[in-house]
């Protein structure tokens, strides 16, 4: 075991992992996080905490992770490269580990243009793959990025990375995944899958390169709340593909929320049959309460 986290145990035992995702509040209270922890406890193996997603200021992902852990849910702390340089990131990696955080997801981060402080200066001292390499170096080589030795108590994270099979160039996405694995990623969470055919093609390429044997791939699923939401994701969210027929199905449904849940369950059941997929990551941001129902309907618990 590299980190000893629950998520690492579940995956290394070959069990189909289930993770969810929470966006921390835009205030200084742990109340919502405690509520979400109560809803999700026992239903999932770990829960991602976003790091100021879409570049909107929120309670810090590390602090939120501690609140979740205190309430019985194992966190996956997300860390982006947008807001901190290598000094601050390594400092936070030591701090988060000292607070019991064991799972870390490394991302570039959404550009600040999309957030509530578009005037901000971005950092991007290092990129997501360099971050993976840095966290792996701290764990396996016991070294800071500069090469200086971490003499004792080096942080040992279970290192996550993301893959987006729906971004371009498509044929490069698998090669970039491989770069992340080579840099030190232990598990991968994918962007939300709506175009399952494209994901099938992606996994076929993954298997051809044998990557599913080197890393745990957790497939992203997002339940659609309404046809309007689906249309918004299709048109406005970068790096996402939502097929028209899915939106049409949502439009025709009497109860769109129920239909969204049904689609998510069908997707999970389909994804479970794809060789090389080690789990699902259910991203129901601002709709966390639906996660237990989806998990139950999909027969994951």
Partner 1 sequence: MIVAEPKPIKEVAGYIKDCTKILVVGCGGCTSVCMAGGETEAEMLAASLRILRKMEGRELVTAVTTITRQCEPEFVESISSKVKEVDAVVSLGCGVGVQFLAEHYRDKWVLPALNTVFAGGTVQAGIWEERCGLCGDCILHLTGGICPVIRCAKSILNGPCGGSQNGKCEINPDTPCAWHLIYEKLSAMNRLDLILQFHPAKDWSKERSGGLRNRKREDAVL
Stretch that binds partner 1, among 81-89, 151-159, 223-231, 265-273 (CB under 8 A): 81-89
Q: Over 77-128, what HEC string results? A: EEEECCCCCHHHHHHHHHHHHHCCCCEEEEECCCCHHHCCCCCCCCCCCCCH
Q: Which is nearer to partner 1, 133 or 288 (CB)?
A: 133
Stretch that binds partner 1, among 39-47, 173-181, 197-205, 212-220 (CB under 8 A): 173-181
**C-beta of 225: minimal distance to partner 1 in Å?**
23
Residue 195 contacts partner 1 per CB under 8 A: no
What residues contact residue 245 under an 8 Å CB cut-off, 6+ apart? none
Question: Can you tell me the distance from the alpha carbon of 301 to that of 285, in angstroms, rounded to the nearest whole number?
Answer: 21
What residues contact residue 7 under an 8 Å CB cut-off, 6+ apart? 17, 19, 45, 46, 74, 76, 103, 158, 187
Residue 91 contacts partner 1 per CB under 8 A: no
How many residues appear in the chain?
301
Residue 106 contacts partner 1 per CB under 8 A: no
**C-beta of 165: minimal distance to partner 1 in Å?**
9
Residue 8 contacts partner 1 per CB under 8 A: no
Residue 122 contacts partner 1 per CB under 8 A: yes
Residue 234 contacts partner 1 per CB under 8 A: no
**C-beta of 21: minimal distance to partner 1 in Å?**
16
* Strand residues in the chain grouped as ranges (E): 17-22, 46-49, 75-80, 103-107, 158-163, 187-192, 216-221, 277-282
Stretch that binds partner 1, among 39-47, 147-155, 179-187, 192-200 (CB under 8 A): 179-187
Residue 191 contacts partner 1 per CB under 8 A: yes
Question: Can you tell me the distance from the alpha carbon of 252 to that of 115, in angstroms, rounded to the nearest whole number?
Answer: 33
Of the candidates 216, 239, 227, 116, the one whose C-alpha atom is nearest the C-alpha of residue 166 is 239
Q: Which is nearer to partner 1, 16 or 114 (CB)?
A: 114
Q: Which two tokens stand for residue 283?
A: 């991203």
DSSP characters for 242-270?
--HHHHHHHHH-SSHHHHHHHHHHHHHHH
Binder among 41, 56, 154, 178 for partner 1 (CB under 8 A): 178
Q: Which is nearer to partner 1, 129 or 247 (CB)?
A: 129
**C-beta of 114: minimal distance to partner 1 in Å?**
8
Question: Can you tell me the distance from the alpha carbon of 130 to that of 151, in angstroms, rounded to the nearest whole number?
Answer: 22
Binder among 43, 166, 194, 216 for partner 1 (CB under 8 A): 166
Residue 148 contacts partner 1 per CB under 8 A: no
What are the residues binding partner 1 (CB under 8 A)? 81-82, 86, 108-111, 113-114, 122, 124-130, 133-134, 145, 162-164, 166-169, 172, 175-176, 178-179, 182-183, 191, 238-239
């Amino acid at each position: 075991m590299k980190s000893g986290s629950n998520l690492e145990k579940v995956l290394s035992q070959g069990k189909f992992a289930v993770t969810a995702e929470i966006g921390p509040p835009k205030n200084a209270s742990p109340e919502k996080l405690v509520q979400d922890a109560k809803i999700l406890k026992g239903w999932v193996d770990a829960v991602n905490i976003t790091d100021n997603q879409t570049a909107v200021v929120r309670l810090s992902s590390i602090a939120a992770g501690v609140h979740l852990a205190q309430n019985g849910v194992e966190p996956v702390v997300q860390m982006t490269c947008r807001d901190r340089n290598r000094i601050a990131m390594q400092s936070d990696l030591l701090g988060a580990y000292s607070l019991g955080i064991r799972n870390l997801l490394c991302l570039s981060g959404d550009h600040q243009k999309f957030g509530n402080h578009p005037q901000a200066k971005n950092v991007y001292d290092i990129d997501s793959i360099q971050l993976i390499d840095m966290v792996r170096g701290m764990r396996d080589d016991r070294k800071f990025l500069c090469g200086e030795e971490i003499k004792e108590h080096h942080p040992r994270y279970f290192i996550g990375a993301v893959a987006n099979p729906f971004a371009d160039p498509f044929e490069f996405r698998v090669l970039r995944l491989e770069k992340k694995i080579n840099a030190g990623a232990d598990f991968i969470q994918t962007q939300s899958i709506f175009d399952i055919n494209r994901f099938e093609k992606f996994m076929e390429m993954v298997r051809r390169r044998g990557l599913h044997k080197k890393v745990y791939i957790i497939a992203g699923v997002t339940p659609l709340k309404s046809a309007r939401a689906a249309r918004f994701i299709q048109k406005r969210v970068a790096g996402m593909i939502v097929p028209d027929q899915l939106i049409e199905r949502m439009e025709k449904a009497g109860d769109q929320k129920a239909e969204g849940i049904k689609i998510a369950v069908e997707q999970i059941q389909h994804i479970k049959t794809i060789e090389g997929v080690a789990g699902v990551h259910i991203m129901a941001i601002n709709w966390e309460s639906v996660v237990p129902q989806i998990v139950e309907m999909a027969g994951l618990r």
